[in-house]
Structure 1
Amino acid sequence: MSAPKQERSRATRQRLLDATVACLADHGWSGATTTLIAERAGVSRGAQLHHYPTRAALVMDAVEHLAHRRAAELRAEAATLTATDPDERLDRVLALLAAAFTGPLYVAALELWVAARTDTDLRDALLPLEQRLGRDMHRLAVDLLGVDESRPGVREAVQASLDLLRGLGVANLLTDDSERRARLLATWRQQFAALLTAAVRSD
């Protein structure tokens, strides 16, 4: 395949992946048909089938691809925090992670989780992907926070933060929950900082 053709193929896949997440977030699993996705991506149905013969393959690739892209964006944003003090870094990183659990990608993922509850094939395909992405998100949080997981309680504190943010993201689905989320995050931030301080002192 020539370089220009490879580039066009890559661009087509990119449009399909972006359109898939957007359709999942806007229309849910049942409404995100391959016809609608192809239309939103601006590609022909034949081109969509050429790259992704099944909807499940397209959706899984879209979620994984955009999760990795969002992780790269988070790392880039966090790279600007290297010169800030630890307290400010903690605040900023928690805010970045909170945003990751309220954006379109998270909404799209929730649509898949709900659909997978009663769709065995989807669940079997989704579970390994979600387990891998969950591990990746945990490692990302550890890196962004600059914490040492070998210290007692740190791993659990990081995971508790991620679980809290996931739950707050769900609460934000039906109504704007930003004020309550901000209050809860402020409270958790104090507890998290205390846990990290205790872990350092335990050495």
Structure 2
Amino acid sequence: MGAVNTRGAAPKQDRSRATRQRLLESAVTCLAEHGWSGSTVTVVAEHAGVSRGAAQHHFPTREDLFTAAVEYVAEERSRALRTLPTPPDTSAAVEQVVALFTGPLFRAALQLWVAASNEPQLGPRVTALETRIGRETHRMAVDLLGADESVPGVRETVQGLLDMARGLGLANLLRDDSARRERVVAQWAQILRDVLAR
């Protein structure tokens, strides 16, 4: 029995993984820039610099592509949360939390939420992933703030921060809301300092 030649397998697998990664990144970018209706497999493939056939090899349907993009967005957001540096003070912690909701990953996630409300095959997966990310985001905010949730009102105040940050992210979709956002962040940081000092 002769030896099996596997020398070409690793580079081919690496290329396949790289193509898949480019498609997922492009799907997120296209969602953030063009929304669900403007993000077809062809548009994503062109953005990724691959043929439509290559895209369909990895993701046979549009739903397959964007379902995988849902998971990719969730993983990237989780990674972003885990790698946040410890802030020097409450104001910096609030700014870091708000930044999670004003970047392109949030914009792409929002497009997926909207699509999931009308696309039954996306709905359950988006809901499950957002539930997981919501828990991770809350836990990360508690850690960043050094908050003790056994103190009455602290848990609700941290959740209020996340809800406020999400609202600021939504406001930022239509226009640059940075001036108002700075004032809101400063006020919320003061509220958190007062609550955490109890």
Give the TM interval when normalised to the shorter protein: 0.7 to 0.9
Residue 64 of structure 1 contacts residue 133 of structure 1 at CA under 8 Å; is this kept in 2?
A: no
The reply to whether residue 181 of structure 1 matches residue 181 of structure 2 is yes
TM-score scaled to structure 1, two decimals?
0.84
Per the TM alignment, residue 179 of structure 1 is displaced from its structure 2 partner at its CA by 0.7
Write the letter of the residue equivalent to 1:176: D
Which of the numbers 53, 56, 63 marks the counterpart of 2:60? 53
Which of the numbers 14, 18, 25 marks the counterpart of 2:25? 18
The reply to whether residue 5 of structure 1 matches residue 9 of structure 2 is no
Summarize the Cα distance change of 1:125–1:68 in structure 2 as closer, same or farther, 3 Å threshold: closer
Q: Out of 51-60 and 25-34, give the one that drifted further.
A: 51-60
Q: Out of 112-121 and 182-191, give the one that drifted further.
A: 112-121
- How many residue pairs are counted as aligned between the two chains? 191
Per the TM alignment, residue 74 of structure 1 is displaced from its structure 2 partner at its CA by 4.4
The reply to whether residue 112 of structure 1 matches residue 112 of structure 2 is yes
Summarize the Cα distance change of 1:61–1:143 in structure 2 as closer, same or farther, 3 Å threshold: farther
**Structure number with higher helix proportion:** 1
TM-score scaled to structure 2, two decimals?
0.86
Per the TM alignment, residue 115 of structure 1 is displaced from its structure 2 partner at its CA by 2.5
Name the residue aligned to 2:41: 34
Name the residue aligned to 1:201: none
Give runs of aligned pairs for residues 1-203 of structure 1, distance below 5 A: 2-79=9-86, 81=87, 84=88, 88=89, 90-198=90-198
Per the TM alignment, residue 124 of structure 1 is displaced from its structure 2 partner at its CA by 2.8
SS in 2 for 1:173: helix
* Per-residue Cα deviation, 1:59-98 (whole angstroms, up to 9, x for no partner): 232233234334434443415x4xx4xxx2x222211221
Q: Out of 139-148 and 32-41, give the one that drifted further.
A: 139-148
2-structure distance, mates of 1:146, 1:57: 40
1-structure distance, mates of 2:159, 2:28: 25
1-structure distance, mates of 2:12, 2:150: 48
Give the percent of matched residue pairs that are identical in Structure 1 and Structure 2: 55
1-structure distance, mates of 2:58, 2:92: 39
1-structure distance, mates of 2:35, 2:144: 31
Write the letter of the residue equivalent to 1:104: P
Per the TM alignment, residue 163 of structure 1 is displaced from its structure 2 partner at its CA by 0.5
Write the letter of the residue equivalent to 2:170: V
Write the letter of the residue equivalent to 2:40: T
Q: Which protein is bigger by CA-based radius of gyration? A: 2
Superposition CA RMSD, Å: 2.0
Listed as ranges, the gaps of 5+ residues in structure 1 are 199-203
Listed as ranges, the gaps of 5+ residues in structure 2 are 1-5
Residue 71 of structure 1 contacts residue 140 of structure 1 at CA under 8 Å; is this kept in 2?
A: no
Per the TM alignment, residue 151 of structure 1 is displaced from its structure 2 partner at its CA by 3.1
SS in 2 for 1:117: helix
* Per-residue Cα deviation, 1:14-68 (whole angstroms, up to 9, x for no partner): 1111101110011110110011101101122222122222222322322332343
